[in-house]
């Protein structure tokens, strides 16, 4: 479903991650952890093809960085749900219209739009908020709208970059519950986070970036938190 093969990732010619090899299979929920500036967002950018590896290959949902043409990147992104720390909702449109918007741009039938939007809002427990404006909702609710918007096109994967970065600890755990529920339906979920508390409460496969590389870690209950595998 997702693979990095000998991939070197750069931002503006600055090497960030070197010789990355990893595979994420269908149905997985994976955390990407690492301190601020370690390259978590960079890794996700490679997945939604905002950047192309300098060397090696990144593949996702059948799209390879080596062969995907610029004009096909939009097609790939329609199969992905991307969620950010700052929600990125359209503030001048209702919750309903925020979701409907992503379907309208692909010329989805009106009757189908209504059903898909309401179903996605139900998934995050916000069907009742369809007519609200985003800024009248709490941060946690806004992030749930963003998750519903990511779901509305029935993605094969959700890529979440610090989805709980602006939320209090309890709300963060609640957001994780929703992401886990989505994952249980078979959608791959990749979460970049530096919130170790979150990982402690909802353990899952964890990849840790340190230096210019990434490796599997096991969670340890010691105060030190993470311990890289030998
Ligand atoms: N446009 C750029 N050109 C060069 N270097 C950049 C650019 N943008 C970010 N960087 C650097 O790339 C490194 C990786 O950044 P990235 O945003 O991927 O880290 P991150 O792990 O997501 O951090 P955070 O936890 O703060 O979100 C950082 O050292 C950052 O300073
Ligand atoms: Mg980041």
pLDDT tens sequence across 121-175? 999 999 999 999 999 999 999 999 999 999 999 999 999 999 999 999 999 999 9
Residue 223 has pLDDT above 50, yes or no: no
- Which ligand sits closest to the CA of 11? 1
Ligand 1 close to Cβ of residue 12 (< 6 A) = yes
Which atom of ligand 1 is found nearest the CA of 44?
18
Find, among 94, 105, 130, the residue nearest to 115 by Cα. Answer: 130
pLDDT tens sequence across 187-221? 999 999 999 999 999 999 999 999 999 999 976 55
CA of 68 to the centre of ligand 1 (A): 24
Model pLDDT, residue 222: 45
Ligand 1 close to Cβ of residue 179 (< 6 A) = no
Place of tokens 């490679």: 46
């Amino acid at each position: 479903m997702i693979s990095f093969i000998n991939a070197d990732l750069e931002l503006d010619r600055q090497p960030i991650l070197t010789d990355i090899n990893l595979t994420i299979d269908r149905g997985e929920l994976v955390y990407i952890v690492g301190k601020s500036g370690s390259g978590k967002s960079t890794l996700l950018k490679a997945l939604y093809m905002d950047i192309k590896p300098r060397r090696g290959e990144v593949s996702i949902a059948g799209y390879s960085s080596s062969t995907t043409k610029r004009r096909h990147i939009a097609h790939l992104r329609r199969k992905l749900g991307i969620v950010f720390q700052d929600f990125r909702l359209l503030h001048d449109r209702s919750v309903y219209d925020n979701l409907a918007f992503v379907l309208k741009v692909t010329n989805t039938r009106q009757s189908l739009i209504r059903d898909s939007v309401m179903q996605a809002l139900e998934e995050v427990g916000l069907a009742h908020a369809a007519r609200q404006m985003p800024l009248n909702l709490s941060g946690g609710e806004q992030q749930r709208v963003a998750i519903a918007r990511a779901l509305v096109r029935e993605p094969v994967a959700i890529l979440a970059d610090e989805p709980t970065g602006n939320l209090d600890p309890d709300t963060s755990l609640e957001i994780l519950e929703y992401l886990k529920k989505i994952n249980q339906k078979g959608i791959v979920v990749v979460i970049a986070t530096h919130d170790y508390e979150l990982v402690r409460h909802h353990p899952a496969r964890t990849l840790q970036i340190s230096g210019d590389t990434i490796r599997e870690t096991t969670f340890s209950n010691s105060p030190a938190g993470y311990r890289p595998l030998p």
